[in-house]
Structure 1
Amino acid sequence: MRKPLNNGFTLVELLVTISIAAILISIAAPSYTSLTNTNRLATQANDILGGLMIARSEAIRLNQRVVFCRSDDGSTCSASTDAWKGWLVFADADGSDTPSAAEILRTGSISTASGMSVLASPAISGQSNRIRIGSDGFARTAPGSSSALLQAKLSVCIVTPAPAFNARELRIAAGGRPLIVPVDNDGACSNPSNS
């Protein structure tokens, strides 16, 4: 008479399988965290870059000054020096350097839930957190077409060692089109320099 075969796992087989799974998860988790943070940085930096590009194209299209500024409420500009909570783009039709509801073209928010921060270089924070773009498409250091071209940076950053390049700088060189550059800040976030 034959004994029926047991079709199950032994305790040893189960422990070995769980141990292998734990090792694989411990190897994959840091890579996943790094990938997630990289995607968050890229998304936020691209959102701000889109706002800057809209400001530039609208200034040329409308043939008037358009302002990209920090906004904590989505309707007014803020001159605060801490991390940005949002931004807005407005066509400065009346030359007042403050947005009215009819002048606002686009707004955006900054995701602070994941430890994200956006910091401005002195050339931007010194202008009450405004980037003014003239009808010629150039950002300048002060209102008016005779001012020097703006050279400044916005830094999108997460305080973390993973990824190593924990910041994305939006660099505005000589008043022209901004570009995004990954930067290694040694896991910290600090205000960027102008150049």
Structure 2
Amino acid sequence: MKPIHASIGMAQRSPATSPCLMLTRPYTRSDGIPGHGDAPVAQESRPKRKYTMRAHGSRGFTLIELMVTISIVAILLGLVTPSFTSLLNTNRLATQANDILGALTVARSEAIRLDRRVVLCRSDDGASCSTASDKWQGWLLFVDNDNNDTPSATEILRVGTIASDTVSVQGSSAISGQQNRIRTGSDGFARVTANSSAALLQAKISVCIATASPAENAREIRIVNGGRAMIVSVNNNSTCPIPSNS
């Protein structure tokens, strides 16, 4: 009977004192002999995940990637540069032509308001008129109070400069023949001479850049029948010739 009590004692052992978790199911030993009591079954454990640290260093460009990038940039610059140059030259032409047109408009209005002759002339120093035959360096507008056809410090109304290294400004023969002057009488009309009864002026001032970008590389300020002036875009085939009178 002692063996029976011993097995019962084993069956009543507390799982808390057992070296492993005891589950109540019969088992057979590896040698084929039935085991006494419940089979010790170890707890099932999950496989541990292995975590490794990967070095994420900075990655540079390869030679092929660099060459492809440079090629793309060169192509884009080749497409953008002509358009940018054209826009820049167009703005230069418009700015200079509008300045001279504005001066002619002031000459007409001031001549009528003051009942005096107002003169627009080429000026290289901003203080006196110039009779030179090359490209204009600048211009000035004066009211001829003493009728001597020469500006004094108190008569000057406006002064303008010209970037002659980039923009070429030239007057037609009707202007250069009047010593680079455009005289507007008190009636608001420009004439071919200083005489108030002379014929009405028909002339042009050309504002030009010797370039093919843009194709219309000149702006002509046209004075028709001594009246109001207007700006006309002209294609001079990348050159800057002296404009005609008509």
TM-score normalised by the shorter chain: which range applies? over 0.9
What is the SS of the residue equivalent to 2:124?
coil
Structure with the greater relative contact order (CA < 8 A, sep ≥ 6): 1 or 2? 1
What is the SS of the residue equivalent to 1:154?
strand
CA offset at residue 6 of structure 1?
4.9
What is the SS of the residue equivalent to 1:132?
strand
Contact 2:174/2:202 (<8 A) preserved: yes
CA offset at residue 112 of structure 1?
1.7
Residue 88 (str. 1) matches residue 137 (str. 2):
no
Which residue is 2:224 aligned to? 173
Distance 2:192 2:111 in 1: 16
Provide the TM-score with structure 2 as the length reference.
Answer: 0.76
Contact 2:120/2:139 (<8 A) preserved: yes
Provide the TM-score with structure 1 as the length reference.
Answer: 0.95
Distance 1:116 1:156 in 2: 7
Residue 163 (str. 1) matches residue 214 (str. 2):
yes
Which of 103, 126, 139 is 2:190 aligned to?
Answer: 139
Distance 1:54 1:135 in 2: 13
Point out where structure 2 has 5 or more consecutive residues left out of the alignment.
1-51
Code of the residue aligned with 2:187 in structure 1: it is: D
Distance 1:108 1:3 in 2: 70
CA offset at residue 20 of structure 1?
1.0
Residue 102 (str. 1) matches residue 154 (str. 2):
yes
Residue 58 (str. 1) matches residue 110 (str. 2):
yes
Which residue is 1:22 aligned to? 74
CA offset at residue 7 of structure 1?
4.8
Distance 1:190 1:5 in 2: 67
What is the SS of the residue equivalent to 2:111?
helix
Which runs of structure 1 show a deviation greater than 4 angstroms over 4 or more consecutive aligned residues? none
Distance 2:212 2:116 in 1: 43
Distance 2:53 2:77 in 1: 42
CA RMSD of aligned residues (A): 1.3
Contact 2:192/2:199 (<8 A) preserved: yes
What is the SS of the residue equivalent to 2:231?
strand
Distance 1:163 1:5 in 2: 52
Identity %: 62
Which of 145, 169, 174 is 1:123 aligned to?
Answer: 174
Map 1:64-79; keep pairs closer than 5 Å.
64-79=116-131
CA offset at residue 3 of structure 1?
4.1
Which residue is 1:187 aligned to? 238
What is the SS of the residue equivalent to 2:86?
helix
Code of the residue aligned with 1:92 in structure 2: it is: D
Structure number with bigger Rg: 2
Q: Deviations over 1:123-178 (max 9, x none)?
A: 00000000000011110111122111100000001111111111100000110111
- Pick the structure with more strand per residue: 1
